């Protein structure tokens, strides 16, 4: 959970209207929160760091898993109790009846990426300040991430219909942003000091399909609104660029040379979810998985330092022990560098609820542990292979130890992957990219010295 409401502060009478934000859920929701914060600041509202100093509180909810829905409802309750004036937005906002039943006192409920409606609800409940130009917003907008990295959202929604997922029901079909808008935003972020761009969407490889890959002009050059041209444009900005949620559609092969040239960070986040054809079929996953292993091996030959992150679900309805073994063999053979693993959860309104062969909880639990043990071995082998190498790392900030900093290698995305514990004689700043000698490793993290 990301929140701006950490420290208590007194209420100032007659002050500029202040809005508190509680942002729950994934990086995509965080980007929505950033956009709302940017709009609020552009109109002259201030952002309050605590409930008591806020004139009203916006709660950006997540509605993906039942546990996230519970967390969202709890956060709304906490905000009502602490402040009283609460507007709800985000994924769970697509089901206003659930929110209004649990919390009849909420002032308004809007759905995901309904920025206009959120602003309308704020205006209705908190009059904007007289002079909207007293607070100037930087052209890069306002962000909730540290200054040196930023999420770049390229589209909303999804055209796929994976049986376990309700995102298309919550967020609708794929709606891509025109490529010049994305590239202009990326350029502004880089100008504002961002050193690492994290490209996010629900299905990054499908980018532009809904816009029929419409061509646009950026810096005098033509770019089609499609994944490859996006990568080409971003690679010209000279910062680390990580691609998240890339499905292994055939055209992804054409993107690999950009990583081989060093133009794009050699990191691919591909949510495979499973490897058994039976389970993938029941999941209704996009992108053919045929030859995926072969293709990954070719990618690794072309880009030897490629890091692949993925997420998997174990205990999906109908998953047999044989299917599960296929999954373990896949992560071993593909040498998946980083993996998140979830036990299948019966999400409300998901089609997979109706599938036959639901797996007992204790079997899910047992498979999850076996998966994590296998993955820890793969990650540890990868980490051990880094000892003795020299590589660029990006600094996130000081660690708790004097003379030590927290950094990340190109194989580590912020918040989800490992870190590099970096000793340095000189003070380093967040966003510094320095060369590091890697001297030690454990299962997920590396240790090294700045050179
Ligand atoms: S690709 Fe599948 S899992 Fe991902 S958002 Fe679309 S429907 Fe959901």
Ligand 1 centroid, distance to 431 Cα (angstroms): 32
The residue whose CB lies within 8 Å of the most ligand 1 atoms, and thus the one to mutate among 168, 205, 269, is 168
388 C-alpha vs ligand 1 centroid, how far in Å?
A: 39
Among 165, 210, 273, 352, name the best residue to mutate to test ligand 1's pocket (greatest count of ligand atoms within 8 A of Cβ).
Answer: 165
All CATH 2.40.50.140 domain ranges in the chain, comma separated: 390-450
Give the distance (Å) from ligand 1 centre to CA of residue 72: 21
pLDDT at 128: 67
Pairing of strands 420-423, 446-450: parallel
Pair 258, 235: CB distance under 8 Å: yes
Instruction: Using the mean position of ligand 1's atoms as its centre, give its distance from the Cα of residue 202 in Å.
Output: 6
> Contact at 8 Å (CB) between 371 and 319?
no
Structure confidence by residue, pLDDT tens digits, 198-215? 999 999 999 999 999 999
Tokens 């004689």 locate to: 425
How far is ligand 1, taken at its centre, from the CA of residue 285, in Å? 8
Choose between 346 and 323: higher pLDDT: 323
Whole-model pTM?
0.75
CB 424 within 8 A of CB 449: yes
The contacts found for 124-130 with CB under 8 angstroms, 24 or more apart, are 125/56, 125/85, 125/87, 126/17, 126/19, 126/45, 126/55, 126/56, 126/85, 127/17, 128/17, 128/43, 128/44, 128/45, 129/16, 129/17, 129/43, 129/44, 129/45, 130/44
Question: pLDDT of 296-335, one tens digit each?
Answer: 999 999 999 999 999 999 999 999 999 999 999 999 999 9
Does domain 2-125 fall under CATH 3.40.50.300? My reply is: no
pLDDT confidence bin for 81, thresholds 50/70/90: very high
Looking at 126-218, list the stretches that DSSP marks H as alpha helix, in order from N- to C-terminal side. 167-171, 179-191
| pLDDT confidence band for 129 (50 / 70 / 90) | low
In contact, 113 and 32? CB cutoff 8 Å: yes
User: Of 123, 144, 106, 112, which Cα lies nearest the Cα of 4?
Assistant: 144
Ligand 1 centre distance from Cα of residue 94 (Å): 17
Report CA dihedral (182, 183, 184, 190) to the nearest 10 degrees.
Answer: 110
Outline which parts of the chain fall under CATH 3.80.30.20: 149-385
Q: How far is the CA of 28 from the centre of ligand 1 (A)?
A: 13
Looking at the predicted structure, is the pLDDT value of residue 120 above 50?
Answer: yes
Residue 92 above 60 pLDDT? Answer: yes
Atom of ligand 1 nearest to the CA of 245: 4
Which residue's entry shows tokens 């490629």?
A: 306
User: Is the separation of the CB atoms in 316 and 344 below 8 Å?
Assistant: yes
Domain with CATH 3.40.50.12160 in the chain: 2-125
- What's the chain's average pLDDT? 88
β-pairing verdict for 240-243 and 196-200: parallel
- Residues 6+ away with beta carbon under 8 Å from 12: 53
**Going by CA atoms, what residue is nearest to atom 4 of ligand 1?**
202
Alpha-carbon distance of 410 to 417, in angstroms, equals 10
Pocket test for ligand 1, best of 167, 204, 313 (most atoms within 8 A of CB): 167
- CA 351 – ligand 1 centroid, Å: 13
Q: Cα dist. 355→156, 170, 324, 358, 402 in Å?
A: 28, 21, 18, 7, 54
- 12, pLDDT greater than 50: no
Backbone torsions φ then ψ of 311, nearest 5 degrees: -125, 150
Give residue 11's pLDDT: 31
Q: Whose CA is nearest to atom 2 of ligand 1?
A: 162
d(CA 325, ligand 1 centre) in Å? 24
For residue 10, pLDDT over 50 is answered with no
Q: How far is the CA of 169 from the centre of ligand 1 (A)?
A: 10
Q: Rounded CA gap, 200 and 156, in Å? A: 9
What does the pLDDT look like over 131-171, one tens digit per residue?
A: 433 444 555 566 676 789 999 999 988 999 999 998 888 88
Specify the residue with its C-alpha closest to ligand 1, atom 1.
160
Residues with CB under 6 A from ligand 1: 158, 160-162, 165, 167-168, 202-203, 286
Dmax (CA) for the chain in angstroms is: 67
Greater confidence (133 vs 187) lies with 187
pLDDT at 38: 79
> Could you tell me the pLDDT band of residue 287, with boundaries at 50, 70 and 90?
low
Q: Which of 112, 160, 271 to mutate to test the pocket of ligand 1 (most atoms within 8 A of CB)?
A: 160
Q: Which atom of ligand 1 is closest in space to residue 203's alpha carbon?
A: 1
- 411-432 tens-digit pLDDT: 999 988 999 999 999 999 999 9
CA distance 314 to 341: 7
Strands, E assignment, 295-349: 307-314, 338-343
Domain 390-450 class? mainly beta
* 448 bridge partner residues: 422, 438
pLDDT in tens, 234-250: 999 999 999 999 998 88
What's the token pair of residue 172? Answer: 């609708």
CA of 178 to the centre of ligand 1 (A): 21
CA distance 446 to 255: 28
Question: Which has the closest alpha carbon to 195: 270, 268, 265?
Answer: 265
- CA of 286 relative to ligand 1 center, distance in Å: 8
Which pLDDT band, with edges at 50, 70 and 90, does 7 fall under? very low
Answer yes or no: is pLDDT of 2 > 50.
Answer: no
Distance of alpha carbon 232 from alpha carbon 368, whole angstroms:
38
* Superfamily the domain 149-385 falls into: tm_1862 like domain (3.80.30.20)
Please choose from 112, 171, 203, 270 the residue to mutate so as to test ligand 1's pocket, defined by most ligand atoms within 8 A of CB.
203
- Helix, coil or strand: residue 268: strand
- Residue 96: is it exposed, middle or buried by C-beta count within 10 angstroms (0-12/13-18/19+)? middle
Of 286, 287, 289, 316, best ligand 1 pocket probe by most atoms within 8 Å of the beta carbon: 286
Whether residue 307 contacts residue 278, with contact meaning beta carbons closer than 8 Å, is answered with no
Is the model more confident about 169 or about 369? 369
Q: What pLDDT digit, counting tens, does each position of 349-364 carry?
A: 899 999 999 999 999 9
Residues 49, 132 contacting (CB under 8 angstroms): no
Position 131 scores a pLDDT of 45
Q: What is the model's pLDDT at position 25? A: 79
- If you take atom 5 of ligand 1, which residue's CA is the nearest one? 202
CA of 167 to the centre of ligand 1 (A): 6
Nearest to 285 by CA among 190, 351, 377, 375: 351
| The pLDDT of residue 56 | 92
Q: In the chain, what percentage of residues exceed pLDDT 90?
A: 66
Which structure tokens are listed for 261? 């040239």
Nearest CA to ligand 1 atom 8: 165
pLDDT over 50 at 5, yes or no: no
Q: Locate the ligand 1 atom nearest the alpha carbon of residue 161 and give its number.
A: 7
């Amino acid at each position: 959970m990301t929140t701006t409401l950490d420290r208590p502060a007194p209420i100032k009478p007659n002050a500029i209207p202040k809005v508190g934000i509680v942002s729950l859920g994934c990086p995509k929701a965080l980007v929505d929160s950033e956009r709302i914060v940017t709009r609020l600041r552009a109109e002259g509202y201030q952002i309050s760091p605590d409930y008591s100093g806020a004139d009203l509180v916006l709660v950006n909810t997540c509605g993906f898993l039942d546990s996230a829905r519970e967390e969202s409802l709890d956060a709304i309750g906490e905000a009502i109790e602490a402040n009283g004036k609460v507007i709800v937005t985000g994924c769970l906002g697509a089901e206003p009846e659930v929110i209004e039943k649990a919390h009849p006192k909420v002032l308004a409920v809007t759905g995901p990426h309904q920025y206009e409606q959120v602003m309308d609800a704020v205006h209705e409940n908190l009059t904007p300040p007289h002079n909207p130009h007293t607070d100037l917003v930087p052209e890069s907008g306002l962000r909730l991430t540290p200054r040196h990295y930023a999420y770049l959202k390229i589209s909303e929604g999804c055209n796929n219909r994976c049986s376990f997922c309700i995102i298309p029901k919550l967020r609708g079909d794929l709606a891509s942003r025109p490529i010049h808008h994305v590239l202009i935003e990326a350029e502004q972020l880089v100008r504002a000091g961002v050193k690492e761009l994290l490209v996010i969407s629900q299905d990054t490889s499908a980018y532009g399909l809904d816009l029929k890959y419409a061509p646009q002009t950026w810096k005098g050059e033509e770019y089609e609104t499609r994944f490859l041209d996006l990568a080409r444009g971003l690679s010209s900005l000279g910062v680390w660029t990580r691609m998240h949620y890339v499905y292994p559609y055939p055209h992804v092969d054409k993107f690999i040379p950009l990583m081989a040239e060093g133009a794009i960070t050699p990191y691919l986040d591909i949510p495979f979810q499973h490897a058994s054809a039976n389970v993938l079929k029941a999941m209704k996953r996009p992108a053919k998985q045929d030859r995926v292993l072969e293709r990954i091996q070719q990618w690794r030959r072309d880009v030897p330092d490629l890091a692949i992150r993925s997420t998997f679900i174990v205990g999906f309805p109908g998953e047999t022990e044989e299917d599960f073994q296929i999954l373990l063999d896949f992560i071993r053979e593909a040498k998946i560098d980083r993996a998140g693993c979830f036990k299948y959860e019966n999400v409300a309104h998901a089609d997979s609820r109706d599938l036959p062969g639901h797996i007992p909880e204790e079997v899910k639990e047992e498979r999850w542990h076996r998966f994590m043990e296998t993955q820890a071995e793969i990650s540890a082998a990868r980490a051990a292979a880094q000892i003795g190498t020299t590589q660029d790392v990006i600094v996130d900030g000081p660690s708790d130890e004097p003379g030590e900093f927290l950094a990340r290698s190109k194989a580590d995305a912020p918040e989800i992957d490992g870190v590099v514990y970096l000793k340095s004689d000189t003070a380093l700043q967040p966003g510094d990219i320095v060369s590091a000698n890697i001297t030690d490793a454990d299962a997920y993290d590396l240790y090294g010295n700045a050179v």
